[in-house]
Amino acid sequence: MITTDFLPGSPCWLEVSSPDTDASTAFYRRVFGWKAMEDTPEAAGYLTCRLDGDAIAGLSPLLGEGERPAWTVFFQDPDVDSTVPAVERLHGSVLVEPFDALTAGRSAQFFDAQGARFAVWNPIDFPGMERTDSHGTLCRVELLTPDGDGSEAFYRELFRWHYSDAPAPAGAGRRRVITPDGAGRDRDQGGITALAPDRVDDTEGSAEWNAVFRVDDVDRALEAVRTGGGQVYTGPEPTPDAGRTAVCADPFGAGFALLETARG
């Protein structure tokens, strides 16, 4: 479970990029009930998505030529600048050099050694997500990777993550649950799933982080995805963790997943 009691190496923020932030705002309002707004005049088109006033995620215009719409997961990092040489030593690469986001915090973005994009965040005035693990908010992050051992080693060294075995989805290889350093097993924040050889093409041969949002009713959420112009790729289907999941994308192809937990 992800909480707002952030630890180093734990997910603390999310951001989706879009070629049309007005259309993306309308889509995520329909699916999750979010409202998106510029928090300051200096935001330069960057929107904060809120649910009943709580910050849930960021919505950013596409900034670079060739950038494609996608969700990016940010992990808590007390020393962003020192993470740069650590990533490079572990055979990852720097996508966005460290920078200050006004007075909110310091950030950088990377590709890991298997090609998955991720970001880090050192908060100053803004800690990150203000609500998690409830309807319309992040409840876990999942890494799909063609090299489970390599991905586990990369993040173990970078963030000191701990792993434990867990049931894998049908057709997948080994799945390992992630726990941040200094937390108990009840603070697992998602997992790393090694793709079976016949599924490596699902991520075009690279690893890929996925944001998973909790919903009260996955069927209703999927109908909102479809009517809002998004795509439903898989599901809803039962999972070994007890619940139903679906994999979707917004109208511009930014992928995400939904989880409806089992009802008692």
What pLDDT does residue 262 have?
Answer: 63
What pLDDT does residue 205 have?
Answer: 66
CA 68 → CA 20, 24, 65, 162, 177, distances in Å?
12, 14, 9, 32, 29
What pLDDT does residue 140 have?
Answer: 94
CA distance 145 to 207: 4
What pLDDT does residue 172 have?
Answer: 66
Q: Residue-wise pLDDT tens for the chain (264 aa)? A: 788 888 999 999 999 999 999 999 999 999 999 999 877 656 678 999 999 999 999 999 997 777 899 999 999 999 999 999 999 999 999 999 999 988 899 999 999 999 999 999 999 999 999 999 999 999 999 999 999 999 999 999 999 999 998 876 665 678 899 998 877 667 789 999 998 765 555 555 689 999 999 999 999 999 999 999 999 999 888 776 668 999 999 999 999 999 998 654
What pLDDT does residue 201 have?
Answer: 53
Domains of the chain: 11-123 (3.10.180.10), 137-261 (3.10.180.10)
